[in-house]
Amino acid sequence: MEERFLKALNFVFSLEGGYSNHKADRGGATNYGITQGTYNAYRRSVNKNMQPVELITKEEATDIYYKEYWLKSGANKIYDFGLALMLFDSCVNHGLKTGVELYRESGKDLEKFFELRKNKYRAIVMNNPSQRVFIKGWFNRLHRLEKFIKEQENW
């Protein structure tokens, strides 16, 4: 796998951690940030029996992130690493469709992309106040992402 993907993946893994099943999380149970539904689809695609996402391996999560998020989002085709990482992380956090829409709407402007994500989080909470419990973590995620991108050579 390409070095840029692995660098982006390590960043995402630092945010997503292990197993979680928060009662307010609309995605349900996750492990390494992978939902049960995504894991089921992956297991079917590689002809393996279904099992709880609690049992996902880091190798499986890596394969899912590479095929379903990095490649499908087009992050692999973006020269600017910061923008590629922002797109990848957006797809991981918001879903592929929304992540790509935010990228397109940003016009490839990283600062605008950050603002669009902040606005997306605010809109989620406005539309569903039960999600307020996550907003601090979401904004911390963006802060860590911005800091990480600035530390990279291509910023």
The pTM of this model reads 0.91
**Domain assignment of residue 115, yes or no:** yes
> Reduced to 3 states, what is the DSSP secondary structure of residue 21?
coil
Q: Quick one: CA dihedral 15, 21, 22, 27, positive or negative?
A: positive
**Domain assignment of residue 33, yes or no:** no
Predicted pLDDT of residue 155 = 44
**Domain assignment of residue 68, yes or no:** yes
Q: What parts of the chain have a pLDDT lower than 70?
A: 1, 24, 153-155
> Reduced to 3 states, what is the DSSP secondary structure of residue 124?
helix
**Domain assignment of residue 70, yes or no:** yes
> Is the distance from CB of 62 to CB of 84 less than 8 angstroms?
no
For residue 21 the two structure tokens come to 């099943």
Q: Which domain holds residue 9?
A: 3-18+61-151
Interior/surface letters 23-37, b for 16+ CB within 10 angstroms, e for the rest = eeeeeebbbbbbbbe
**Domain assignment of residue 11, yes or no:** yes
Q: Of 60, 98, 103, 64, which is closest to residue 85 (Cα–Cα)?
A: 103
Residues 108-151 have pLDDT tens digits of 999 999 999 999 999 999 999 999 989 999 999 999 999 999 98
**Domain assignment of residue 129, yes or no:** yes
**Domain assignment of residue 43, yes or no:** no
Report the number of distinct structural domains present in the chain: 1
Predicted pLDDT of residue 71 = 97
β-bridge partners, 35 = 30
